Chains A and B, each alone.
Chain A
Amino acid sequence: MSVDPAVLEGRALTKVYRMGDVDVHALRGVDLNLHAGELVVLLGASGSGKSTLLNILGGLDVPSGGTVVYRDHDLTAATERELTRYRREHVGFVFQFYNLIPSLTARENVALVTEIADDPLSPEDALGLVGLGERMDHFPAQLSGGEQQRVAIARAVAKRPDLLLCDEPTGALDYQTGIVVLEVIEAVNRELGTTTAVITHNAPVAAMADRVITLHDGRVMGEARNERRMAAKELRW
């Protein structure tokens, strides 16, 4: 597989949380590139800094030190307004707890994004993509966890993002459902060519990635490239 130019470049990223008198070092100098079209899996123990890193890459948070460059935009120097634009135009998020708006139906949750995006999929198409064409008018409370997560993925990809960032998308799901969700992510990455990063606790999931990055205690401990991506369907854990 050829190495495409990096879409997103993180350099020497650090993040320190100040908790009263103690400093919590969530990131202690992380370098990481995401290349166009690749699917990266981030592994690491709980508390190793995965979420922190992903939030910084997605413009949800700012690092204490280091730089993040998206194409030719330096996100570390960006204003709040520029960060908002970055998230709005380029990034799709999927969270462990889905984070749907409970008072909006599936379709409306997706429409929340298509409203403000430039060249979005229609909410119907996006929901079709995740196989929920039939459940569009249900409220989150009327959907199972896996269905909710698929709505969240539809919402994330409806804007045709350049980056799809998923923080433990299967964390709250059983095995079967988890596989379905991973299949959707895989399909989006393949069919739309969206650069994708997936955080997981689940080592076997790493098999579906182009590249696997392991974090430990705020540092990158290892990086591996898979010869062959395994289809999500074939994953077992």
Chain B
Amino acid sequence: MVRPLDRKLFRDLWRLKGQMATIALVVAAGIAAFVTLRGTHTSIQDARSAYYERQRFADVFARLERAPRSLLSRVEQVPGVSRADGRVLEPAMVPLPEVSEPLRAQVVSVGTEELQVLNQLHLRDGRWLEPGRSDEVLLLESFAVARKIKPGDRLPLVLNGKKRDVRVAGVVMSPEYVFAITAGDISPDPDRFAVMWMADEAIAATFQMEGAFNVLSVRLQPGASERAVIDALDRLLEPFGGTGAYGIGWQPSNRAIDGELAQLRSFSTVLPVIFLMVAALLVNVVLSRLVHLQRPEIATLKALGYSDFEVGFHFFELVLVILVLGAGVGVGVGGYFGNVMVDLYAVYFKFPNLSFRFDGASASAAVVISVVAALLGAFSAVQSVVSLPPAEAMRPPAPARYRRSLVDLLGLARVVGPSLHMIVRELQRRPLRTVFSALAISVSIGLMVIGGWYYDGIRELVHTQFHQAMREDVAVAFIEARPARALSDLAHTPGVLAAEGLRAVPVRFRSGHAHRDGAIFGYPEGGELRQLRDRYARLAPLPPDGVVLTDVLAEVLRVRPGDRVEVEIHEGQRGTKQLVVSGTVDDAMGLQGHMTADALARFMGETPKVNLALLRIDPTSSETIDARLKDLPYVASVTRRADLLARFESQSASMITTMSAIILLFAATITVGVVYNNARVALSIRARDLASLRVLGFTRGEISAILLGEMGLQVLLSLPLGLVFGRWLVVGIASTVDPEQWRMPVVITDRSYAIALSVALIAAVLSALLVRRRLDKLDLIGVLKTRE
């Protein structure tokens, strides 16, 4: 038999279903956020570690100019090293006939399938290289898919300045290119960046690298110190043109994954906490009212011999039902969005099997935490009434005491009229609830602002980078730095309106024990196509001498303007020299040094050279220019700014829209929950007053205005707060992005603010309308008859 208290529970639940449902939605949003984000995090992390382990992904990497393979056994004797693998990696180009400019590529040497030591390839389609054939390659899947290339297809390839045709034997995935970028890239461009693996002998022959290697990968023994191994390797590789070993944390693909995981982790903590706090607040508001209304019933139950615990637990059960509902919906929705998120990530992160893994342990943790949060909210509401002696609980509580309000004090009573005055007094009577509710709504608005910024921030980044920082139409990268006068060749090509050169030197910055790899850029005097700009694309001064460092880099190196920094040159005539830091700049991405072209040439001890030609072209002749450029043997890649922009936008579009939509949806539940529940509670508290007013001749509209005006004031209060809060959250989130890679501009457009405000207002108005319906059906006689 169902216990009578349980029947009461069900009937109370049914009466309060709107309130229960809206609170359950907030709980659901919190749990869903947790399940989605944490589950996505775990899924990626697990897929990664399983993949790395299976493919024997290396722990430490190093580039060098050329070393004999015999060096590998010496590397393996370094304490802490368990395996070492040497390969040849060279830049190449893929001049696809259907693409106007040649595409960047890397070719990597590989042995037989069985003899792969580290960083093993995962064959997805086709077959392995046939021994003895030098015209076969294995192609990175992301490129193959993007360009619809199948095993058996032929590809043009420019290797060491010579063009040849190769046959794609198989399509592979590689743990080194899960995220297909190379150092210095901003975003992956799977259709413009190809990686190919060729037989050892074939590459060696082409690049005169017989019996030698130029990329070292090392796997550590368990517990070995990465730092110590890196130091030992740097010493060992120095004579062979080593450019400095780096750990797995700096491997470009892996670092990108780390960055994404860190963001997921911080989101998956902050969001659920916010939602559960709001849920606790709502539980408290609703339950306080319920308990207040049920004071006589509580007293009766106690008089009948029910203990405090039994009575209190009865109300907790109500909360538990909300939680069960919320958790059920949350876990379901979270699982669904988790799948969506992981599918989105699967576009960027190429693991052999990345699928959303429902993380049962963290889901249960989320449910337990939400139980605790809700019970905390319930406890203070229930405890005060339940602990009253029954005799006291049976008497109605002392009538609410109203104080003279601000309106009175300011002498505004006559101006604002009695209706508004009632509203102000009511809000003032429960200052904490008013404040917390306004805070909760502002949190909701804040979250929506994040959703907007997700969109804007990236748009802004695109705008500053692609429109203001890069003013060229086409950027032509050379295979090797060339004398600056080589530019005149390009400048005289028909259709080219202007040409400027940029010098980039790969270097390692060092100061004390700290060091970072990056590049120094040399800007030509009077150049206009690229200039030194900060992350908001504002021009930054470039002194004639010394180097201006990215401020994050200066921080890492602990140097200030006026200090010296050691620079290891990783190009041509290697060597280490000192440079004076002449300033710092807050630029958008990467770690760089910036100099005038002249200062850089002096520093390098060379006549001015350039590795990047920036062209302004006449759009009508772009075809012919492309054809010309494609034929130049010293060109490594040709990038049109417009393509870069289009690609960046199309890639981020789906991710951003999905994320923004999810955030908006979730955040709206808070506004609905707060406004609806507050309005319902206010209605319950004021039903008698309002009914009396109706009896006195007030219209429905007038009494609605009084009740909903209260909510309106609360929402109005929270609007500016929400915007401020949103900006604050954005700054916080922007800082979770790896600062050595990105400095996201904190730019929130009016559009985003407007969207956040409108969604909050719409949610508030809809909730108010739901309550207004009840208000219209107010049973005048019934309300006046019941005693309270």
Contact = CB atoms under 8 A, between A and B. Distances in A.
B303 A116 contact: no
Among A60, A85, A155, the one with the most B-chain Cβ atoms within 10 Å of its Cβ is A60
B305 A87 contact: yes
B278 to A, nearest CB: 28
B626 interface: no
Nearest to B299: A99
Contacts of B300: 95, 99-101
Given A84-B305, A93-B303, A61 B297 contact: no
B306 A116 contact: yes
A93 B11 contact: no
Nearest to A98: B300
Contacts of A155: 304
A88 B304 contact: yes
A108 interface: yes
Closest 9 CB pairs of A and B: A88-B305, A61-B391, A55-B391, A60-B391, A103-B11, A99-B300, A108-B4, A87-B305, A60-B390
B788 to A, nearest CB: 12
Interface in A118-176: 155, 159
B301 A112 contact: yes
A84 B299 contact: no
Contacts of B751: none
Nearest to B308: A80
Among B8, B297, B302, B303, the one with the most A-chain Cβ atoms within 10 Å of its Cβ is B303
Given A101-B297, A103-B12, A87 B391 contact: no
A179 interface: no
Interface of A: 51-52, 55, 58, 60-62, 80-81, 84-85, 87-89, 91, 93, 95, 97, 99-104, 108-109, 111-113, 115-117, 155, 159
B360 interface: no
Given A84-B308, A99-B296, A104-B4, A62 B303 contact: no
B7 A108 contact: yes
B307 interface: yes
Contacts of B737: none
Contacts of A101: 4, 8, 297, 300-301
Given A93-B303, A113-B304, 17 more contacts: A55-B391, A58-B303, A60-B394, A61-B390, A62-B389, A84-B308, A87-B390, A89-B305, A95-B300, A99-B296, A99-B394, A103-B8, A103-B12, A104-B8, A111-B4, A112-B304, A116-B305
A61 B307 contact: no
Contacts of B305: 84-85, 87-89, 91, 113, 116-117, 159
Interface string B1-12: 001110110011
Among A87, A89, A102, A112, the one with the most B-chain Cβ atoms within 10 Å of its Cβ is A112
A81 B308 CA distance: 8
Contacts of B555: none
Interface in B516-551: none
B392 interface: yes
A135 B226 CA distance: 83
Nearest to A102: B297
Nearest to A156: B304
A122 to B, nearest CB: 12
Contacts of A88: 304-307
Contacts of B307: 81, 84, 88
Chain B facing A: main interface SS: helix
Contacts of B389: 60-62
A102 B15 CA distance: 12
A154 to B, nearest CB: 12
Given A61-B389, A80-B308, A88-B304, A95 B394 contact: yes
A136 to B, nearest CB: 13
B308 A93 contact: no
Among B7, B12, B305, B389, the one with the most A-chain Cβ atoms within 10 Å of its Cβ is B305
Contacts of A102: 297
Contacts of A97: 296
Contacts of B297: 99, 101-102
A112 B8 CA distance: 10
B394 A84 contact: no
A102 B12 CA distance: 10
Nearest to B782: A141
Among B4, B7, B391, the one with the most A-chain Cβ atoms within 10 Å of its Cβ is B4
A99 B297 CA distance: 7
A55 B296 CA distance: 15
A102 to B, nearest CB: 8
A120 B300 CA distance: 18
A99 B394 CA distance: 9
Interface in B386-405: 389-392, 394
30 contacts: A52-B391, A60-B303, A60-B389, A60-B390, A60-B394, A61-B390, A62-B389, A81-B307, A85-B305, A88-B306, A91-B305, A93-B304, A95-B300, A95-B303, A97-B296, A99-B296, A99-B300, A99-B303, A101-B4, A101-B300, A101-B301, A102-B297, A103-B7, A103-B12, A104-B4, A104-B7, A104-B11, A112-B5, A116-B304, A116-B306
Nearest to B306: A116
Contacts of B390: 55, 60-61, 87
A78 to B, nearest CB: 12
Contacts of B7: 103-104, 108
B779 to A, nearest CB: 13
Nearest to A155: B304
Interface string B756-785: 000000000000000000000000000000
Contacts of A85: 305
Contacts of A108: 4, 7-8
Given A60-B303, A84-B306, A109 B4 contact: yes
Nearest to B395: A51
Nearest to B296: A99
Contacts of A95: 300, 303, 394
A61 B304 CA distance: 13
A37 B8 CA distance: 35
A76 B303 CA distance: 17
Interface in B1-40: 3-5, 7-8, 11-12, 15
Interface in B369-413: 389-392, 394
A58 B300 CA distance: 13
Contacts of B5: 112, 115
A82 to B, nearest CB: 11
A95 B300 CA distance: 9
Contacts of A115: 3-5
Contacts of B394: 60, 95, 99
Among A81, A84, A95, the one with the most B-chain Cβ atoms within 10 Å of its Cβ is A84
B473 to A, nearest CB: 75
Contacts of B391: 51-52, 55, 60-61
Contacts of A81: 307
B392 A61 contact: yes
A108 B296 CA distance: 17
Contacts of B303: 58, 60, 87, 93, 95, 99
Interface in B266-287: none
B766 to A, nearest CB: 29
A102 B392 CA distance: 20
Contacts of B3: 115
B20 to A, nearest CB: 15
Contacts of A111: 4
Contacts of B306: 84, 88, 116
Contacts of A100: 300
Contacts of A55: 390-391
Nearest to B8: A103
Nearest to A100: B300
A124 to B, nearest CB: 13
A93 B296 CA distance: 14
Contacts of A60: 302-303, 389-391, 394
